[in-house]
Structure 1
Amino acid sequence: MATAPVMKESPAAGALLRADALAVTYQGRRGGPPARAVDGVDLDVGRGEIVALVGESGCGKTTLARTLLGLVPPTAGRVVFAGEPLGYGARALKAYRRRVQLVLQDPTGALNPRHTVYDAVAEGLRIHGGASDERAAVAEALARAGLRPPERFLLRYPHELSGGQRQRVVIAGALVLRPELLVADEPVASLDASVRGEILALLLSLRDELGLSALVVTHDLGLAWNIADRVAVMYLGRIVEAGPVEEVLSAPRHPYTRALLSVLPDSSAPPVVLTGEPPDPTRVPPGCRFHARCQVLAAAGPVHPEAATACRTRDLPVLPGHGPHTAACHWPTAEP
């Protein structure tokens, strides 16, 4: 019977950002049980690495990303950046957010319609300071984001730009501070299919040319395949499978990952229709938190009663933040 490894590996030497036993709990409604939005997560992002965080809506991936950005303080565990635990004082957070920048999924909502492109990109410099030549820094950021020549865009307003150009402006606003890591929350979800590839290619070029790291939050495993070095699949507040993107997406070990992959347009596997909705985070089920919707358990549970009992009753350990392909699954097929 397969289980996730109990012993954690030490983080990779090149780890830039690390979630260490991270948990975020929200107070329940009307005195009810608390909601465990993030429920014990170890996750590393190495220097010059792109990691995709994948899962359904409501699985906790956006809360995890906001916690890694310092926008939500953890209930337990810690965020470690460049070997130092994140501090939550105003000065520490300001210094941290210069080095770690957020790219939102909706560029229209992220940009003030009354501000020119120049003002939108320069805003970070004006908050954090440190640019001897603001105009040159803004022009360089726009050029790096693919808006060339930058002089054509400086005095334009968001409504004068296409969706792809607006997203490039948002990326330029992050790049102007010369960060070490980007957290991109569904960076192409609001864009037409024709420009999604351009934005993904831009993120890859930034990694290759600047050594920039990125955590890309997405529900789209196809996007993860195209852009990520590693992928972490999240379900109900936990990472349930993680590893190099080629291994995870070519030979998934967790039934949830297999279900997500089965509905991709180019999948050769029959689509898996998961029954019901993800459980309420205020009532996380015992055992494997996916067992109530697991297609493997439903089909083969009577044949393997020991594994079925473990799925329903035995909790699984937190997966290590870095290392080889691992899955939090009691089922024998979790082993390669």
Structure 2
Amino acid sequence: MTTTTAPPLLTARDLHVTFPGRRGADPARAVDGVELDIGAGEIVALVGESGCGKTTLARALLGLVRPTSGRVTFAGTPMEYSSRALRAYRKRVQLVLQDPSGSLNPRHTVYEAVAEGLRIHGYAGDERAAVTEALSRAGLRPPERFLLRHPHELSGGQRQRVVIAGALVLEPELLVADEPVASLDASVRGEILALLLRLRTELGLSALVVTHDLGLAWNIADRVAVMYLGRIVETGAVEQVLSAPRHPYTRALLSVLPDSPGEPEVLAGEPPDPSRIPPGCRFHARCPVLASGEAERAGVAGACRTEDPGVPGGGREAEVACHWARARAGA
């Protein structure tokens, strides 16, 4: 785990990504002022419902989407968007996608799939040795058994390990894993999560794990950032956030886990359109605390509807963007 004094490996500051609206509509604010740090050797889980902006944020951190405003910094250097700079950056920061079947060319052997990144980046060393080492690190042992196989000859877990090996072969410092176990059977998910933890221990890898599954976050992450409608609304150490969630949105997400005590808290309606983000707290139209009168009793109902609660910082301190949670903490 990263230390509290070491500078972060990656930072996002006041990051915005907007997309043009359809047929003259206002631009969609997919990422709307995100602050996020990822430390060396740290695993951060980015959680939230589908459509909250998680994947767009991950793509912006990878340099696949250029921010409308704000800044991404890696190892102390602001990201540049020239082809040459992005090529060098993507050797250090690798993406692991959720669907290994879609990530792998069915005509390519495992060897070709893993070697592809080396060839793109002009690797001058022993290609076969690098590929077999990456496969071995990804848990495909002995690697020689897999080199000439095609994706259809592998199980889902083995295909995901090939995808991970394809990222590892470039010796990156950070993995961005977008729903890395969503398409896998339950029996295999634990193996892939254990692999990611082992890679952090053995190689000092950092990881941003994008997921809608708070149970996965609990099992793998050091820190969690909860995202809603383009913005992080709660962040902190995973044990702190998931054991004692302060934001009503985080509480609702946790309440539907299978082993959660009490009744599931079903949120009303759908998240608002990112081109029409409501005033005040962006969650207020669906907030059970506001609907139940608790926010009124705490004296913050008006603020919930009209005042933006701000953006949590990206660091290791536990923070929440919620008028009601802050009122409770100050009571």
The total of aligned residue pairs comes to 326
Superposition deviation, residue 301 in structure 1: 4.7
Superposition deviation, residue 305 in structure 1: 7.0
Q: Which residue pairs with 1:3 in the alignment?
A: none
Q: Is residue 2:48 matched to residue 1:55? A: yes
Residues 18-62 of structure 1 deviation map (CA, whole Å, 9 limit, x = unaligned): 111100011100111110000000000000000000000000000
What secondary structure sits across from 1:320 in the alignment? coil
Q: Is residue 2:130 matched to residue 1:147? A: no
Q: Is residue 2:128 matched to residue 1:128? A: no
| TM-score, with structure 1 as normaliser | 0.95
- In structure 2, list runs of 5 or more residues that go unmatched: none
Aligned pairs for 1:1-336 within 5 A: 13-301=6-294, 303-304=296-297, 306-332=299-325, 335=329
Q: Is the 8 A contact 1:233 1:239 kept in 2?
A: yes
1 CA distance for matches of 2:232 and 2:31?
9
Q: Which residue pairs with 1:7 in the alignment?
A: none
1 CA distance for matches of 2:238 and 2:89?
28
User: Following TM superposition, where does structure 1 have runs of at least 4 consecutive aligned residues deviating by more than 2 angstroms?
Assistant: 11-14, 301-306, 332-336
Superposition RMSD in Å: 1.3
Higher relative contact order (CA 8 A, sep 6+): 1
What secondary structure sits across from 1:207 in the alignment? helix
2 CA distance for matches of 1:327 and 1:203?
28
Residues 55-81 of structure 1 deviation map (CA, whole Å, 9 limit, x = unaligned): 000000000000000000000101100
Q: Is the 8 A contact 2:290 2:296 kept in 1?
A: no
Residues 273-304 of structure 1 deviation map (CA, whole Å, 9 limit, x = unaligned): 00000000000001100000001111125742
2 CA distance for matches of 1:75 and 1:167?
33
2 CA distance for matches of 1:201 and 1:262?
25
What secondary structure sits across from 1:335 in the alignment? helix
2 CA distance for matches of 1:157 and 1:334?
57
What amino acid does structure 2 have at the position aligned with 1:193? A
- In structure 1, list runs of 5 or more residues that go unmatched: 1-10
Residues 208-266 of structure 1 deviation map (CA, whole Å, 9 limit, x = unaligned): 00000000000000000000000000000000000000000000000000000000001
Distance 1:32 1:12, change over 3 A: farther
Seq. identity, %: 77
